[in-house]
Structure 1
């Protein structure tokens, strides 16, 4: 069996209501069921979702302090005050800055922009930065995508004579900052209809209010920042992102055009996936490794040559970021291995790049399905600083809050956190956090949840269905790309592809219907799947175009096998391939040896060897067994299987006997040899064995074996190494010979284990045990 990597969760619906709604909307039953599960349960709601209009966009003046904000900005324009926009270094912060910068320019202002450096000012408001801004002659400070939590810093800005407008979307604390105006969708004194605006969404609303209409020319920036910040793609966000994606496809921004060319993007249709996985990472990368100024410049430049250089620089920075992440993931993965028994994994490395630790933590969470904290150690300053990512079963903020005595500072929420602590406290933090987490994760699955939207048969996964799925775009938070599940399908083909065989290419079949599938970074699963397995597979449907042909393809997210699995390793090539996959951290539970001392001496320090020549049978279940050699007898194997009840068996079944496989002579061969003795007696077998073997066309092994059987049954006499017929021999069956019985039993074992086909061998291990 192969367990799923995720905790599969399947939705249910009222089938009668779904069928009625499908008829009313003229949508397919699967798509209607999906919309029903997403709480779209009327014709009107579905129509508004599929065809959102400008009517869903809320009045910007419903936001907190919007009137006051406009008054302050208009006064600044009238009095020729210098305006500084204070942003953030991620994609949301950069696009927020660009939106407000261009909106202010449209109304005649000449604002400047400041984006803090992650490694100098850090996140959010900064007193030193504010002091420098004031010294440079600025009068009005407008924060975008930050400020709501900077209580001391914002008060300081007011103290030194700056007017302050705070625009933000992050969680509002018990105390609001001292600002002249606060624009926030969750302001406790106001009731804005939609709470899930990104920072760029709040800046866009300010632009809307300033310009008196929806700023269509800024929709591309709205889409970039909203998708990049992974906020809810519902309500007005859905309409504005949808319109923004259309705008991105025809953008006139030289910077984006240059970036498209650098990335070889086909922008005839820009999707949320393209933004989330291609474009936004390049905007984020600059702020992760240093200053985000190049990302901002790319968005607002009007110079084609500058745009080309900026795009090239951002691609290079992102490539560097990816290389650093890959390097740190490998380094962190090595550190994880000694702590695999922990509920929360904490790893730390000297001078690991702080800008990517959150990404590394997320990668490890995916790999190990448990909370992870990744720390960078600064030995000069003697502190450890890093990021953590969690799973639904553990509130990471609460876990760290329980260990405040060990920490210098920390912050975050249930799923993610940042922290700083003395190096000497790292080991103590590992103990404390695991002590806190152990009871919370003991009763719940530590697997990440995977919400399955649709159960399909392969014939249902049609191009027509895929066209309906596309109508649900843009996909993102609260409107994820649908995950479909195929149950009890078989493999028609499977192979590894890509560098280092990292990816999986497969074709699944259901009777005569097939669907091609691709699985990224799961190439190793090939070694855990058989063509005869009953497979459940979950993934996303996509369109694959090849040589002017279109077909539906499944992008694999997770796989489970419901049956016991047999891996046939009886060939030298198969065994050699398998041995190459065995590592200290990737191997079956036990290697069973019946009578193969050479294997024991070679492998005992590499794997868990159960040597039944000297060891007793285990007393508990063992999930996966490698049966290295032929059992001494079938009863011994049956006893092993009865106790261990394995779900996975890797069958090498090597014959360690130096004489090779045993072949029992036929009755005709026994008869021919007896006639030969009778004709040419006395027969000197030892001296004449070559001639006898040639005459009878038998092997030396068979010759001496038949001699032994004849002697045991008293069919012959042996005098001075010569055979003669015993004329007074009693009547016996060949099977009455002890040697014949022993070899017959060995041959039966060989027929059962060595010569049997896959199905017969499978039945030996499970149907017969």
Structure 2
């Protein structure tokens, strides 16, 4: 059964899209995506499309206490004063830790680190770590991706005479801790290009400013760019401001990284040697392998992976990350299945998520290290905020994931008196509480959710940029969409939709049969589509509205364009809308060779061409190998200067199709005689190929038989496959005209007068051509 979804389709702005498209050489579809992102002027578009040209403000002007933080670190390095980092066990925290370890060591500093135990201590710096640092002689503590709410541990450090620099990006508490310096982008204006840095971004800026203090020319910070990119994308930081500019550079550097750990990680993911990495490579391959260690293993594995200069050590640690990820996948699948079964049982007992507006689940035996992933999957499945927890004796520890209209951190603050601890962002968070407070916590969350959400908002949200025809989803469009990269939070992947697409094929795929594979057609083209974790929607109805992002799939040197399903809903056959006839921007120069020696002309004309010509026609000659010539079907996205018509096409429709796709500067007409196709052969072809209710490709059959589509339609009526072909063509071609209906439907009605209007002058050549074409209708 198809899911209940909220489809939010952006309103088209065709005039503005056309202006932006013309100014930047874009498809109007890509221009519409820019408009949907708030980029509505040429100045904004120029800025967005050229992040390498940005002039950024100095970090010291944006981070009020950056100077103090750099001074403390520089003094510790110069005087060989031990420094220690307290990190975090997620990808952001571990890449932040590795980044600053590499930076301080490169500058000659004495630095170590500690990461709290996820299983036994939970998130953030604690007094045990502070006291352990003190016992090891540490004089300066540096928190990364944590610390902004750690009042007690930071106060304890001050009691012991240690200095503390807090680098964090989480939401601010009502009162800040008394640290020696605090670097947090939440303290600056939201208009700052640094305002959306993740924890690793703050660490990256600090490392760069520290390197500058030691008169490094920028090489050190540049060498840390891959770690910044890994942590930023994996933490789902908004890809705006400096994140957009730096992640774009970092993705380009990843394939050739000099960090052995990064290379080893690429190898275990099967991405080694790929030069076209996008954020999804981190989000679905690199990031999960790093995060898996923090969730169910020892973060030391990742720190060693990302800080070692020994390829053998890096390979070993990357292998350990791979093993942890495989264990994590098994745990997630198990907990997700149990959680879904629990929800379905509650729904049978009367649970109405639209009324409750928040999903709260807690079970003993669940591994709290992976429940955050399960929370994300449940949120995608049910479209509600999800709070999921592991019951561990008298203690409950959980993770939360939100929807756009629901602020997770504010929800947790609303329940603060019931919680032992909490933290997070608008879209995600973590919490802990005593078991005897669990029911009160559920009730409080429901009160918060009912005050902020409407029942209709409890459904997965599908944000859509524009309606398209499948024929528009091609390599040229995907290459233009790449100009919008990197895509992620704050610059989401473009999503398009097709109304009333026919589901030609559907099946489950993957080892466990959890994914959905489709072949869909809207009459303009067929495309393969993949729906990750959507196989339980099978069987799909015959017609669907399908929302998707476009992907380039490269396998063994072959590149195909496929769709990644973002949304599905039941539909009827698409309504038939006549497209405008093709327009030619340039006049076509016609050359009539019907009275001459066609073969002789080809022998002298074709070899002299710098680019291939297109030779089309019935029983047209086969020219010698190596000559610059293509035959019959024009190649995709290739503009030919010369079209050679050995014979006239079977109808004006075919001729118009050919001219619209080829867009030639000159047409050379030979008009060789085409033998008549016997009507009994046509009848045989119809009986062999026509199947009621299935697509029937009239143009291909008429091309094969070299007869007009009108003749094929009349033959269908004569054979009693159809009562009358005209109403079918005029009303709805979706069911049986097949893959070329939308592009070519109006051309079925083409006549010589339309042809003359499109082909323009010289009239002396058009008149005999028009008479010949009219006789073929």
Q: How does the TM-score come out when normalised to structure 2?
A: 0.68
Q: In 2, are the aligned partners of 1:56 and 1:239 still within 8 Å (CA)?
A: no
**Paired position in structure 2 for 1:520:** 532
Alpha-carbon distance between aligned partners in 2 of 1:88 and 1:192, rounded to the nearest angstrom: 26
**Paired position in structure 2 for 1:9:** 8
**Paired position in structure 1 for 2:545:** 536
Q: In 1, are the aligned partners of 2:390 and 2:397 still within 8 Å (CA)?
A: yes
Deviation by residue 1:65-95 (Cα, 9 ceiling, x = unmatched): 2222222222222322111122111111111
Alpha-carbon shift at residue 324 of structure 1 (Å): 1.0
**Alpha carbons of structure 1 residues 106 and 55: separation in structure 2 relative to 1, 3 Å:** farther
Q: In 2, are the aligned partners of 1:495 and 1:526 still within 8 Å (CA)?
A: yes
Alpha-carbon distance between aligned partners in 2 of 1:497 and 1:559, rounded to the nearest angstrom: 18
**Are 2:508 and 1:501 equivalent residues in the alignment?**
no
**Are 2:165 and 1:165 equivalent residues in the alignment?**
yes
**Paired position in structure 1 for 2:243:** 237
Mark the runs of 5 or more structure 1 residues left unpaired by the alignment.
565-758, 760-769
Alpha-carbon shift at residue 57 of structure 1 (Å): 3.5
**Alpha carbons of structure 1 residues 419 and 194: separation in structure 2 relative to 1, 3 Å:** closer
Alpha-carbon distance between aligned partners in 1 of 2:322 and 2:434, rounded to the nearest angstrom: 36
**Are 2:333 and 1:326 equivalent residues in the alignment?**
yes
Alpha-carbon shift at residue 482 of structure 1 (Å): 0.7
Q: In 2, are the aligned partners of 1:386 and 1:419 still within 8 Å (CA)?
A: yes
**Alpha carbons of structure 1 residues 529 and 202: separation in structure 2 relative to 1, 3 Å:** same
**Are 2:561 and 1:552 equivalent residues in the alignment?**
yes
**Are 2:235 and 1:226 equivalent residues in the alignment?**
no
**Alpha carbons of structure 1 residues 407 and 151: separation in structure 2 relative to 1, 3 Å:** closer
Q: In 2, are the aligned partners of 1:5 and 1:558 still within 8 Å (CA)?
A: no
Mark the runs of 5 or more structure 2 residues left unpaired by the alignment.
574-734, 736-777
| The one of 480, 484, 499 aligned to 1:472 | 484
Q: In 1, are the aligned partners of 2:265 and 2:318 still within 8 Å (CA)?
A: yes
SS at match of 1:259: helix
| The one of 300, 305, 309 aligned to 1:298 | 305
**Alpha carbons of structure 1 residues 159 and 77: separation in structure 2 relative to 1, 3 Å:** same
**Alpha carbons of structure 1 residues 16 and 302: separation in structure 2 relative to 1, 3 Å:** same
Bigger mean CA offset, 251-260 vs 26-35: 251-260
**Alpha carbons of structure 1 residues 82 and 250: separation in structure 2 relative to 1, 3 Å:** same
**Are 2:378 and 1:364 equivalent residues in the alignment?**
yes
**Are 2:134 and 1:134 equivalent residues in the alignment?**
yes
Alpha-carbon distance between aligned partners in 2 of 1:494 and 1:407, rounded to the nearest angstrom: 47
Alpha-carbon shift at residue 157 of structure 1 (Å): 0.8
Alpha-carbon shift at residue 408 of structure 1 (Å): 4.3
Q: In 2, are the aligned partners of 1:56 and 1:236 still within 8 Å (CA)?
A: no
**Are 2:207 and 1:207 equivalent residues in the alignment?**
yes
Alpha-carbon shift at residue 184 of structure 1 (Å): 2.4
Q: In 2, are the aligned partners of 1:201 and 1:222 still within 8 Å (CA)?
A: yes
**Alpha carbons of structure 1 residues 266 and 136: separation in structure 2 relative to 1, 3 Å:** closer
Moved over 6 A (4+): none
Q: In 2, are the aligned partners of 1:392 and 1:448 still within 8 Å (CA)?
A: no
* CA RMSD between the two structures: 2.6
Deviation by residue 1:35-89 (Cα, 9 ceiling, x = unmatched): 1221223333323322322544431222222222222222222322111122111
Alpha-carbon shift at residue 400 of structure 1 (Å): 5.1
**Alpha carbons of structure 1 residues 495 and 309: separation in structure 2 relative to 1, 3 Å:** same
Alpha-carbon distance between aligned partners in 2 of 1:160 and 1:540, rounded to the nearest angstrom: 55
Alpha-carbon shift at residue 427 of structure 1 (Å): 4.2
Q: In 2, are the aligned partners of 1:64 and 1:184 still within 8 Å (CA)?
A: no
| The one of 376, 391, 405 aligned to 1:377 | 391
Alpha-carbon distance between aligned partners in 2 of 1:551 and 1:4, rounded to the nearest angstrom: 28
SS at match of 1:165: strand
| The one of 330, 337, 342 aligned to 1:335 | 342
Alpha-carbon distance between aligned partners in 2 of 1:388 and 1:52, rounded to the nearest angstrom: 34
**Paired position in structure 1 for 2:104:** 104
Deviation by residue 1:673-696 (Cα, 9 ceiling, x = unmatched): xxxxxxxxxxxxxxxxxxxxxxxx
Alpha-carbon distance between aligned partners in 2 of 1:443 and 1:349, rounded to the nearest angstrom: 26
Alpha-carbon shift at residue 375 of structure 1 (Å): 2.1
Q: In 1, are the aligned partners of 2:462 and 2:567 still within 8 Å (CA)?
A: no
Alpha-carbon distance between aligned partners in 2 of 1:438 and 1:183, rounded to the nearest angstrom: 36
Deviation by residue 1:410-440 (Cα, 9 ceiling, x = unmatched): 4445533433333344345445544554565
Q: In 2, are the aligned partners of 1:451 and 1:483 still within 8 Å (CA)?
A: yes
The number of equivalent residue pairs is 560
Q: How does the TM-score come out when normalised to structure 1?
A: 0.69
Q: In 2, are the aligned partners of 1:231 and 1:477 still within 8 Å (CA)?
A: yes
**Alpha carbons of structure 1 residues 21 and 368: separation in structure 2 relative to 1, 3 Å:** closer
Alpha-carbon shift at residue 32 of structure 1 (Å): 0.9
Deviation by residue 1:301-349 (Cα, 9 ceiling, x = unmatched): 0112211211111111111111111111112222222322142333222
Alpha-carbon distance between aligned partners in 2 of 1:224 and 1:194, rounded to the nearest angstrom: 17
